Amino acid sequence: MPDLSAMLEHLPAFWGGFLVTAEISVLSIIGSFIVGLIVALMRVSEAKAARLFALCYVDVFRNIPFLVLIFFAYYGLPEVGVYIDAFWTGCLALSIAVGAYVTETLRAGIVNIDKGIIEVAKSFGFGRIKLYTKIILPIAITSSIRPLGSVFINLILTTSILSAITLGELTSASKIIASTTFRPFEVYVFLVIFYGALTFALSALIATWHKHLNRYNEV
């Protein structure tokens, strides 16, 4: 019979893995947002070379399986003298791979802005930087916040794949507990609860932020 109480003595091990997953998720969300923002700006840039680079980046990283990407970075790169530990390999790989999805989400937010609003700003003499920081990005981020939330929740779930490069995150910790206790049912119930806690927290945060950012749409 399943006995969930048997997991209580393993809570510290779960907790250790949970902290690693939480830490790598937060860092990668920030990283992927920065990468996505920069590439999205290149994607809508007037410079053809920047647009082409951004398009290639998005196409490449949306078409590589994440597992292959981290194997390449963790096991392949040391062969050419580049060694990055599992934690930072995970962070970088997630930032770059998820950054491609952030790029497309933000791009959609940017191109959907009413052209009239941009024209008004231009007619008042706004330069490119102020046009983006004061008008385009605040509106684009506001309209993209929900889809961005989905992208970031997916990012949290994808961290489980990092167990494949020996990172001691939540899934990795659970596998070890399962192999020592022979209670996979109870272990994976706990695992689901821990992931659920993280994604639920992010969902709640996104919902609050969405409401705050969209306060101007309330009539």
Binding site for other proteins (CB under 8 A): 114, 116-117, 119-126, 130, 134-135, 138-139, 142, 215-219
Closest distance to other proteins from the beta carbon of 43 (Å)? 22
Rounded Cα gap, residues 29 and 79, in angstroms: 29
Nearer Cβ to other proteins (62/134)? 134
Nearer Cβ to other proteins (63/217)? 217
Q: How many CB atoms lie within 10 A of CB 185?
A: 12
Q: Residue 92: CB partners within 8 Å, gap ≥ 6?
A: 31, 73, 84
Nearer Cβ to other proteins (82/219)? 219
What is the chain's percent helix, strand, coil content, to nearest 5? Answer: 85, 0, 15
Nearer Cβ to other proteins (79/114)? 114
Closest distance to other proteins from the beta carbon of 47 (Å)? 16
Closest distance to other proteins from the beta carbon of 215 (Å)? 8
Q: Residue 33: CB partners within 8 Å, gap ≥ 6?
A: 99, 102, 148
Can you read off the two tokens belonging to residue 195? 């992931």
**125 dihedral zone (left: phi>0; alpha: psi -120 to 50; beta):** left
Closest distance to other proteins from the beta carbon of 137 (Å)? 10
Nearer Cβ to other proteins (66/132)? 132
Closest distance to other proteins from the beta carbon of 117 (Å)? 5
Rounded Cα gap, residues 81 and 60, in angstroms: 23
* CB contact at 8 A, 61 and 104: no
